[in-house]
Structure 1
């Protein structure tokens, strides 16, 4: 079954190469506009003190990340998410492998693949893809959240604390990160008493 899926993905990738090349050229042309739009959204997110308004800004940032790959990348991500939702993780990974190969600078390809690895409890590979995500977009609060979660799950609370602080510097109204940071600090305080 895996061979069939792999050959199907390979066939799709070969067919998608001309479209991917055209999308890459188009993406480069609009890259500066998207980057300035993202920079403004991140500035707004950092300044926003209303939780609901901050969530709306964060959602707009996610939409920007998702739309930055092009039509082929969108399709691969959509198929991968459906496969992951159906717990067909290896199919999802095959599709996301294609996305990261065709679009190595597409942040959501790496982030989505990290999420599938997290669903499979493969922390090592998830960490690798989260690292790549953060190399492309250091402000990726979803990747920071995933990284902090892995650090906590593996008993590295002090490192998780630093990641949560970094995340809150980018997205101050992220309640889950606020609560996690408070829990870690309280646990550390209790241990010292």
Structure 2
């Protein structure tokens, strides 16, 4: 993963009405295993990884890496949000160097349908807009992933392109922070 510019990592935890976005900790390991091994979570991501493989591969303290937030609800991890820079191999129509940030998220199925993804993603996008003023963010998903498509629209992503990859139609949307109007 390429860097996110001059971002201090990890930032102070981000707090929303119901959630905390923070760096990963040792207590999150079981939830990471569940995310990676869940057939529901990985339906549009190439399928789940075998649980025993996840148990062996995941360190006792999950890696705290640049751009990765744990989504916490009532003291427990319910998912992750990631903001990474796309590399030159994954060109888009957004930036010629493919260096735009890409938003990704995973939530445990028990957390679906309650607005947590929208709340957490909105907080991460707000943080990113403050940390990297004027920088666009892209989101890619399969068009068959109706939940993700609805969330992208709710967050204000607009379609840039559709393309075929991994045997399915993919959708790329763009989110740009709104610059304040100095005359207002």
Task: Answer whether TM exceeds 0.5 for this pair.
Answer: no
TM-score in terms of structure 2 length? 0.30
Flag the structure with larger Rg.
Answer: 1
TM-score in terms of structure 1 length? 0.29
